[in-house]
Amino acid sequence: MPFKWSLNPYMGCAHRCAFCYVRFFERRADRASDERYGAVVRVKTNVADVLRLELARPSWAREHVSIGAATDPYQPAEGRFRLTRACIEVLSAARTPFSIVTRGPLIVRDLDVLTAAARRVEVSIYLSIPTLDDKVWRDTEPGTAPPRARMTALSRLVQAGLKAGVFMAPILPGISDAPDQLAAVVRAAREAGATSVAAMLVYLKPGTREHFLAELDRAWPGERQRYERLFDGRSYLPAHLSDDLKQRVGELRRAHGIADRREHPLAPPPESVQLEFPLAAKSA
């Protein structure tokens, strides 16, 4: 992971994406990583209180914190428990920079605390939108909001002055990496005002691999064998495939003029100590 600290107010995710890498961690912890994953979501009801105590330690150096590295912080449970919102307020009060990765349009509910935080610390938001293809979305992200709804949320975040980009992850070779599919996402990101676009290929560790391959059998008969050859027993695809994807998305990013075009960008005072999230730098 390109960060040292992460924060996850929930364990388990109702989005139940077929490719979710967290299935690996669930399997390692002897919890369900198959179709049962996401049926139960564990709620850390005192997470904001514990976070407040941790950030008050004299040793805390206000390092960057990534919210949502192992589960979506804006999955449906957040609508009830509002733990992510509470954590944003705590991070802001402690002048700790943070980023958020989510597939949940619910994030726009928290525009007030996000904009307040962005005036105190560096805040970066990434909407995870790997595809606009309706079939790919329905078959691989069964519990998520439609990709276009996520683009609308992105637009509202940028209009509010927040730094918000698109993270196209994961891309599925032969399923969601056709030139027109990639171009559609980058074009929509540009229209929504995305400040950055980055992409990453799928990877399949134990727990994720078995479930994902079973979903391939169901939704794309015949693809399983090809994926088994591509991975050849590895968790990650060959480097040349990843390099090719980055090059193609980079070309699309330049062609569509993806850049930070916010009219009224929110930023903390220049004297504040800031730590940039590495992903933003890579996708600029």
Query: pLDDT of the chain along its 284 residues, tens only?
Result: 678 999 999 999 999 999 998 888 888 888 888 788 888 999 999 999 999 999 999 999 999 999 998 899 999 999 999 999 999 999 999 999 999 999 999 999 999 999 999 999 999 999 999 999 999 999 999 999 999 999 999 999 999 999 999 999 999 999 999 999 999 999 999 999 999 999 999 999 999 999 999 999 999 998 999 999 999 999 999 999 999 999 999 999 999 999 999 999 999 988 654 444 444 333 32
| pLDDT at position 35 | 84
> What would the DSSP string read from start to end of 190-239?
HHHT-S-EEEEE----TTHHHHHHHHHHHHSTTHHHHHHHHHTT-SS--H
The whole-model pTM stands at 0.92
One-letter amino acid at 6 equals S
CATH 3.80.30.30 fits 5-260, yes or no: yes
- Give the 3-state secondary structure of residue 61: coil
Distance CA 185, CA 190 (A): 9
Domain boundaries defined on the chain: 5-260
CB 279 within 8 A of CB 98: no
- Give the 3-state secondary structure of residue 66: strand
